Amino acid sequence: MGKQQITDPHHLLFEAPRVQSFITGSEAVAEAVKRANVDMAIAYPITPQSESMHLVGELFEQGYIRDFYRAENEFAVMAAIHGASLGGGRVFTATSGPGTLRAMEMFPVWAGARQPIVCAFMCRGVSLPPSIQPENIEMGMLLDTGMLMLHAEDGQDFHDMVLAGYAVAEQPEVHLPVGVFVDGFFATHTKDRILLPPADLKLPPYDPRTAPVPTFDMETPPMRITRDPLLNKSNFISGAANASWHQEVLAAAERSRRHLRTYLGGLLEVESPKAKTLIVASGTAVSQSREALRLLQAEGIDAGLIKIKSIRPFPEEELAEATDHADLIVVPEFNAGGWLGREVKAALDRNRRVVSGPRLFGGMSMPPGLIVETIKGAMATKNRSAGGA
């Protein structure tokens, strides 16, 4: 292990000179953890997350992180990470698909307990039938757990978002868990050109004393404290206290917007903003959409792209503004439920403009031509109905 110098997140993310490398998404996340000054990581084997957590294990061996072990199942991993975070450590873990669902009960707990945990989710199909292939239906199930949700397009995003995740999660007024989501295999196993900041830099250590809740170390007052107390007496006041706690968790997520703009450069990103036809996507569906834009441009069809980087908080206002002039909005996604389409529709007015599709799942790739077909099909339908009117 080389000696690392502490630098502020802004410098690490935006100013430090970057070196180009040709690595997989799994390697990219380990590179982020290497620079994140993580105290503790806990792992459990699950495809396609395993490679990255093997590499994180090696970081432990090399001394970049201070403790690491394999726990007995994902629920236990997430509970142990919860414990480590209560103890004041900066923690990292990762899971995937069925593992996410096995640990489901813990995610709202993290958020409610205001823990700045960063967890990578290498999305895959959930049973049944069993699948280890890419699909992001698990994100649709996590939308209301209270954690912040960032969706990486590729290995570069994955790397940067893990680092940005700590910077945002640990803001005293935010102090919430951040899930960094990436589509398994499409991003984790693809080798790509990735720009890395120097390995001799790292984030400043986490300071639990700035947390909005006390640390469990018997070094922090008050002495008499339980996390989190049973606010469940059967009376109006304890019901109201419980509800207010939830409001505070929602408020903390709202407060993260400002920091997400700083560290992600915005909750969404727009390409060809003036186009009347817009694709709205997140994750690797963005990559496929970029290719679709090329195909459309080659045919002289003017189309633009909105990449949603933050799913929670969701950029409702930015999205409404960016799409206000559009008359066709297409939302391609890698899951059967179409959760992003639903989010988009719920955020916009004039829903008839929105086509929720194409949707691919079960491990299927999304040919860019399919997005083009969807757009042309929707245009044809519109022209027909316009002609008929």
Considering only residues 219 through 238, tell me which ones interact with other proteins, judged by CB under 8 A.
Answer: 228-232, 234, 236, 238
116 is a contact residue toward other proteins (CB under 8 A): no
297 is a contact residue toward other proteins (CB under 8 A): no
98 is a contact residue toward other proteins (CB under 8 A): yes
- Enumerate residues 28-87 that contact other proteins by CB under 8 A: 43-48, 50-51, 53-55, 57-58, 60-61, 68-70, 72-73, 75
296 is a contact residue toward other proteins (CB under 8 A): no
DSSP character string of 62-110 = HTSSSEEEE-SSHHHHHHHHHHHHHTT--EEEEE-HHHHHHTTTHHHHH
- Using CB under 8 A, which of 10, 11, 66, 193 touches other proteins? 193
Instruction: Report the Cα 101 to chain-centroid distance in Å.
Output: 16
- Using CB under 8 A, which of 112, 177, 304, 332 touches other proteins? 112
d(CA 192, CA 178): 25
d(CA 22, CA 36): 21
SS3 at position 308: strand
303 is a contact residue toward other proteins (CB under 8 A): no
d(CA 284, CA 153): 5
d(CA 299, CA 285): 21
283 is a contact residue toward other proteins (CB under 8 A): no
Query: Least distance in Å: CB of 61 to other proteins?
Result: 4
Among residues 187, 153, 150, the alpha carbon closest in space to that of 168 is found at 150
- Enumerate residues 153-172 that contact other proteins by CB under 8 A: 154
342 is a contact residue toward other proteins (CB under 8 A): yes
- Using CB under 8 A, which of 14, 19, 83, 130 touches other proteins? 130
Instruction: Report the Cα 131 to chain-centroid distance in Å.
Output: 21
- Enumerate residues 349-388 that contact other proteins by CB under 8 A: 349-352, 358, 360-370, 381
Instruction: Using CB under 8 A, count the residues that bind other proteins.
Output: 112
d(CA 86, CA 80): 10
Query: Least distance in Å: CB of 1 to other proteins?
Result: 13
120 is a contact residue toward other proteins (CB under 8 A): no
Query: Least distance in Å: CB of 371 to other proteins?
Result: 10
> Which residues are paired to 312 by β-bridges?
149
User: What token pair was written down for 244?
Assistant: 């207010």
